[in-house]
Amino acid sequence: MDPKHLSYSKISTYIGCPFEYLLKYGLGIETRDNPYLAFGKLVHEMLDKFWDIDYKSPESFGGQFTGIWYKLVNNELESHKEIQFQYPEQKQYMLNRGRKMLERFYLANIQRKKEGNLPILREYRFSLKLAGKEILGVFDRIDEENKNGTSLRKIYDYKTDARPPKDIDEANFVESFQFTFYRIAHNILFQKDAIVHAHYLQTGRIFPIKYHERPEEFVIKQIDHVWNHIARNKFGQHISYRCKDNCQLKVRKK
């Protein structure tokens, strides 16, 4: 299979389960949305709306999420596929979590929004060549601060984990391909350094990322591994904790 036009999400999918990659990107088999992925996608969409729409209160922000969520779970949105929920109460549980996340985000950011202190980039899609291979990615948000005449950029990656880390020591991202790749991509695209942060929306905690000691070597090695395995049609199924409850390989009902 030709692995051209890899993206971070495709690389992540392959690392998680090569067989899933084959079905989704090789054979084009339509699968049901994993509820956590559908939830994360909608939360990201709402966070982007926050900066453009004049929400009057955290309740109004959370209220719009509620309305869209009900349409999503009732399969009324063409932009989302049918969701495979794992238990009956999950719809309401995720709705409550989403509202709390967004209302917390509103309270934490409404003052800077009023002051005109806005992100310089949001949901920014990019294409980058590394080791001769084109890789696609998306920055959730980039802020720029000026301190003592020095410009400092911060990349924020939104996380909707139900059990986020409690502190920076628990948030050990040294081996994280995603965050190392984002930093390298930003440095190449904009010719300036940036600090990557994981923003855990469940708690509102933000952790600066620890990088691999040889970042470019680490990222290129991961890309080469996935690229070469796809080109050689290696698509064995990984059996892991994801398979029981979170497997997306359930073909959508007609």
Q: Is 241 helix (H, G, I), strand (E, B) or coil?
A: helix
Residue 241 has pLDDT above 80, yes or no: no
Q: Which fold has domain 121-225?
A: Lambda Exonuclease; Chain A (3.90.320)
What is the per-residue pLDDT across 59-86, written as a single tens digit (0 to 9) for each? 999 999 999 999 998 888 776 667 888 8
Query: What is the C-alpha separation between 142 and 193, in angstroms, rounded?
Result: 12
Q: Structure tokens of 201?
A: 């929306």
Structural domain boundaries in the chain = 8-116+238-246, 121-225
Could you give the percent of the chain with pLDDT greater than 90?
46
Residue 216 binned pLDDT confidence (cut-offs 50, 70, 90): confident
Residue 253 has pLDDT above 70, yes or no: no
- pTM of the complete model: 0.84
Q: Residue 15: which of 223, 198, 251 has the closest Cα?
A: 223
- Taking the alpha carbons at both ends of the chain, their separation in whole angstroms is 28
Query: What is the C-alpha separation between 210 and 15, in angstroms, rounded?
Result: 21
Angstrom CA distances, 180 to 8, 10, 70, 214, stand at 11, 16, 36, 10
Query: What is the C-alpha separation between 188 and 129, in angstroms, rounded?
Result: 10
